Amino acid sequence: MGSSFAWLLSLCSLLLAAADSPAEPTLPAMVARIIAGDFENNFFTGDFLKARPANEKEEVGACLLDKVGAIVTENGVEQFLNELQVDAAACCTKDRQDCVKDITKPYALLTSIRQNHADAKTTAPKVAAMLLRAVESRLGSDKVNPSHSHFFGKCKDIENCTMPALGASTMDL
């Protein structure tokens, strides 16, 4: 029994070490922690661009588009909220000033969900739509493969955006 308990304790320690610490409640603070090396920089442009990004703005656009996809097709707000916040903040380690300005509000909404001040099901599509506006200001749909280009132009009315309007199927939800 002693060795089983030790094995279980080791496994639990390993799982806790692998998980991200709680994301900072504000985007500027989270970006600063990533830059300081307190959190891993998970900047990721996805694999859905037709060609390499032409500049840093396009890189950030692709990174944010990856988060839109995670919210819509993977139910990211409900399934991995903390990771989503950390990864969205990582997008702002490039083109920092404009990125932070553009996604502070959707990041704050994610914090509201995490703090149980907002409902994930109704807030998630708003977050995705806000991120999508930031993507569209950096990247044209003509540079994106169909797997993600179909998001462009959806949910112009952010307040009334829904997951089905973003293209989520009932299997995604």
- pLDDT single digits (tens) 36-54: 999 999 999 988 999 999 9
> Domain for residue 6, yes or no?
no
* pLDDT over 90 at 20, yes or no: no
Question: According to the model, what pLDDT value does residue 32 have?
Answer: 98
Question: According to the model, what pLDDT value does residue 16 have?
Answer: 41
- Comparison of pLDDT for 107 and 6, the residue scoring more: 107
> Domain for residue 5, yes or no?
no
> Domain for residue 113, yes or no?
yes
Question: According to the model, what pLDDT value does residue 168 have?
Answer: 83
> Domain for residue 31, yes or no?
yes
- pLDDT single digits (tens) 45-102: 988 999 999 999 999 999 999 999 999 999 999 999 999 999 999 999 999 999 999 9
> Domain for residue 10, yes or no?
no
Closest by CA to 59, choosing from 25, 94, 88, 83, is 94
Q: Which residues contact residue 63 at a Cβ distance below 8 angstroms, ignoring those fewer than 6 apart? A: 43, 44, 45, 46, 90, 91, 94
Closest by CA to 25, choosing from 117, 129, 107, is 107
Q: What is the pTM of this model?
A: 0.87
> Domain for residue 17, yes or no?
no
Q: Number of structural domains, the chain?
A: 1
Domain region containing 81? 22-166
- pLDDT single digits (tens) 121-162: 999 999 999 999 999 999 999 999 999 999 999 999 999 999
Distance of alpha carbon 94 from alpha carbon 167, whole angstroms: 28
